[in-house]
Structure 1
Amino acid sequence: MNRLTTACLLTPALLAAPACALDPQPVNIQGLQFYPSLLLGERYDDNYREAAYAAPSSWITTLEPRLRLVAEDRNSAYRLTYAGAQQTYHDDSSASHLDHRLLLEGILEFTARHRLTLKAGYSRLEETASTAIPGVNDEYSLRTFGATYRFGAETARNNLEFAANHERLRFHDDSLVNAREERDASRLGVTWFHRIGGTRALIETRYEDFDYVQPDSPLNSHNLALLTGAVWEASAKTSGRIRAGYQRKEYDDDGRDGLESPMWEIGLDWEPRSYSRFSLTTRQAYDEGDDGADAIKQTRTRLDWRHEWSERLSSTLFVGAARLRYQGLDREDDLSSAGLTLTYQPRRWLELALGYSHWDNDSTVDRERFQRNLYTLTATGSL
């Protein structure tokens, strides 16, 4: 899986509700709001290396403190978030590791027509699955810097949005395959929104430049995508965001053929009842390579159903499917997944969760096939 995609997926919007249903009370520190929480979890993973044969299994204890500091006034808001996760593998001490994630976000509204969003993050992570050296964790860090400027009032018929982002991926292990993937990525985007009733039609252009650390890397390239679509909240029950168009990747090496493909990003939410929501997401695009591939054409679809059975008890069910075509390798994977999580909140400040997830990867390369089951029990507490 592409690590830039993995590390940056679904970064929470500034001042959005926490991922869990907790309603934490802040501590006031010199006008700043401080939200601490702690997750303690136990899980059993029957194939944490995603191995085709002799799959290793282990009980894993997770201790994850989360710290959030919020400052806001009339025209601006800032949030600093830190999460550190200690993963202890009881049957394989070499897989145990400590992850760090730090994210700083800010929103500045200069006037009703001028809005600037800023983001800077740093992550130091380890992965146990599909590693470059069998049985050895992949260790890497990811630095991100981004800014988005929107011109036009929220209620205006037309808006323009300009986005810039830079990412720096570095590995901290001895794998030559991983060293090949170290890179800097710069992204620029321009989106025009046009309001039609409760719907905003859009046209978007994206440019990405990938500069690899390895001297004269044949993977240096740039992507260009042109998308059109819409964002809407047509009623209290439905909302959606659709972007579809075409993407082309050109390599700096003139001797390498470019890649091109239809591209889409779609998210649809349907709430037949206030306590029940279905969410469908699907995406197709070229992402940067992994496991020795020049690039990966990914087509992913996932359906989630969240249902609140009572004030304290809820469930989340998901099913997913993905097709990954590895460019430059004779490899194609079909990955299916499913899972169920039950969440119980006996107190405002305490949440208990019990979950099960299953993955099944069918690959044209025998050693890349695997099945994986994960059983989890977590408790999250706050003030």
Structure 2
Amino acid sequence: MRLCGLLTACAIGSTTPAWAITPKNFDVHGLDFVPTLEVQESYDDNFRALSEDVESSWITTLKPAFSLTAEDRNSAYRLSYQAVSEHYHSAADASNTDHDAKLESILAFDARQRLHLEAGYKRQEDTASTAVNRENDKYHSSRFSGRYDYGARTAINQLSLAVSQERLRYDNSGEINADKDRDTLALTGTWTHALGGSTRALLELRHSDFDYTLADSRRNSTNQALLAGATWEATARTTGKVRIGYEQKDFDDPRVDDLDSPMWEVGLDWAPRTYSVFTLNARRAFDEGDDGSDAVKTTSTELLWRHEWTSRLSSNLSFGLSRQVYEGQERDDDISSASLSLTYAVRRWLDISLGYRYRKNDSSVELESYERNIYLLSLTGSF
């Protein structure tokens, strides 16, 4: 297998959705250069996600992106970048530009040993997270990670050891959300065992340390999780990963109650036809605290259906349900979402899409409840 294929197969590379455009690769001094551009016009009837006095606007969005890929016999490298520039026609203060850059590599020492490295930087603004203040939530983050895999791809036993370091900082006025500034160190060890065919059992141990920059933060904590499950590919038209286990969150501050809960992560693809794929994603885990909470226990389920009606026309339909319990507060949120999009491939290098997104938050805190509708029309092109 070519190493650039390994970048994609190991889920650290390609973000191109199924049935998207097929960009042309340009040879730039031995590097594969792939540029794309998406132009989108949308209408958001509640872009601040408020329960009352909502704001709406037409939004013009430009998404230029590119990737540079290089490979030789034993290694592959990819640099990717995307900018997202949003112009809000009815609210100039909401207009913003996001940046997302990432450098990835895979080094194959021999048939048994591989090393994956990744470095990334993001600078983003969110119109909804600081809705009470009616200003964008601004933050930037940097992330470095590495994963060492031992075991041939056909070996009965395989072992992976991963480490990542993330730095998150908020850039809002008046120290808004400064209590969420943190450094995160995560360690993961995964052992898999072949059961036959393309099915493998797995056992995984995770450790995460959350260090907040705010002095005497209640949220400084350590997460531990032990998970067991399986992965399989192309088994009865099904591909998937299932992890089920238990998670503990221990806070440094003795005044904060430690937390524990069953944990699971499920990702299943079922393809009854080559042109039709159903996907089920489910998750239960502790997320870091928000809006003054110590942590958020999130349970979510999402069902997606991707269907290719003709060689040019495809659709994406999704439904999602999520429950968020804010630990340390009297707040529970029930979130429902849905989306539908139709994409027509005008040319190999040009797609046109029409879409709709819906989101509703039914919160026990009245001011946190809201409904949001977004209507979209977009053109995605390359060369």
- 2:367 partner SS: helix
Letter in 2 for 1:343: T
Q: Report the equivalent of 1:16.
A: 14
- Give the alignment of 1:1-383 within 5 angstroms: 13-16=11-14, 18-19=16-17, 21-131=20-130, 133-197=132-196, 198-235=198-235, 237-383=237-383
**1:294 positional shift:** 1.0
Distance 2:133 2:24 in 1: 45
Identical amino acids, percent of aligned pairs: 51
- Secondary structure of 1:194's match? strand
Tell me, in whole angstroms, the C-alpha distance in 2 between the residues paired with 1:235 and 1:79: 31
Secondary structure in 1 matching 2:265: strand
Contact 1:132 1:177 in 2 (8 A): no
One-letter amino acid matched to 2:47: Y
Q: Structure 1 residues 17, 70: CA separation in 2 closer, same or farther (over 3 Å shift)?
A: same
Query: How many angstroms apart in 2 are the aligned matches of 1:11 and 1:154?
Result: 12
Classify the secondary structure of the residue corresponding to 2:177. Answer: helix
More deviation in 200-209 or 10-19?
10-19
Q: 1:130: Cα distance to partner?
A: 3.0
TM norm structure 2: 0.95
* Letter in structure 2 aligned against 1:130: S
Structure 2 SS opposite 1:24: coil
Gaps of 5+ in 2: 1-7
- Once the two structures are superposed, what CA deviation does each residue of 1:133-187 show, in whole Å capped at 9, x if it has no partner? 5211010001111001110000000000001011110001124451011000000
- Matched residue count: 374
Q: For 1:91-131, what per-residue CA distance to the aligned partner results, in whole angstroms no more than 9, with x for missing partners?
A: 00000001000011111111110011111100000000131
- Structure 1 gaps of 5+ residues are 1-9
SS in 2 for 1:48: coil
Task: Report the 3-state secondary structure (helix = DSSP H, G, I; strand = E; otherwise coil) of the residue aligned with 1:338.
Answer: strand
SS at match of 1:111: coil
Q: After TM superposition, give the deviation of residue 290 of structure 1 in Å.
A: 1.2
Question: How far is 1:216 from its partner?
Answer: 2.0
Q: What amino acid does structure 2 have at the position aligned with 1:94?
A: D
- Look up the equivalent residue of 1:222 and give its one-letter code: T
Which residue pairs with 1:6 in the alignment? none
Aligned pair in 2 of structure 1 residues 83, 12: CA closer, same or farther (>3 Å)? farther
Q: 1:323-370 CA deviation, whole Å, 9 max, x = no partner?
A: 000111111000000110001101000011100011111000000000
Distance 2:10 2:113 in 1: 22
Instruction: Give the 3 Å change call, closer, same or farther, for CA 11–297 of structure 1 in structure 2.
Output: farther
Contact 1:290 1:296 in 2 (8 A): yes
Task: Provide the secondary structure at the position in 2 that maps to 1:180.
Answer: helix
Cα 1:337–1:175 shift into 2, 3 Å: farther
Equivalent position SS for 1:94 = helix
Distance in 2, matches of 1:126 and 1:182, equals: 15
Q: Deviations over 1:238-288 (max 9, x none)?
A: 111000000000011223220000000001110000000000000000010
AA in 2 matched with 1:344? Y
> CA separation in 2, counterparts of 1:334 and 1:33?
45
Whether the 8 Å contact between 1:199 and 1:234 is mirrored in structure 2 is no
Give the superposition deviation at 1:67: 1.1
Structure 1 residue 132 displacement after superposition: 6.1
Provide the rounded CA distance (Å) in 2 between the counterparts of 1:206 and 1:11.
22
> Which stretches of structure 1, 4 residues or more, deviate above 3 A after TM superposition?
14-17
What is the Cα deviation at residue 215 of structure 1? 1.4
Alignment-mate amino acid for residue 19 of structure 1: P
Aligned to 1:18, the other structure's residue is in SS state: coil
TM-score normalised by structure 1 residue count: 0.95
CA distance in 1, matches of 2:353, 2:240: 28
Distance change in 2, residues 1:354/1:369 (3 Å): same
Q: Considering only aligned residues, what root-mean-square deviation do their CA atoms show, in Å?
A: 1.5
TM-superposed CA distance for 1:231, in Å, is 0.3
Is the contact between residue 49 and residue 131 of structure 2 (CA under 8 Å) also seen in structure 1? Answer: no
Whether contact under 8 Å (2:66, 2:81) holds in the other structure is yes
Distance of 1:58 and 1:207 partners within structure 2: 43
Q: Is the 8 A contact 2:24 2:34 kept in 1?
A: yes
**Whole-Å Cα distance in 1 between the matches of residues 9 and 130 of structure 2?**
24
SS at match of 2:109: strand
Contact 1:14-1:78 within 8 A present in 2 as well: no
> Matched residues in 1 for 2:361 and 2:378: separation?
26
> Displacement of 1:13 after TM fit?
2.7
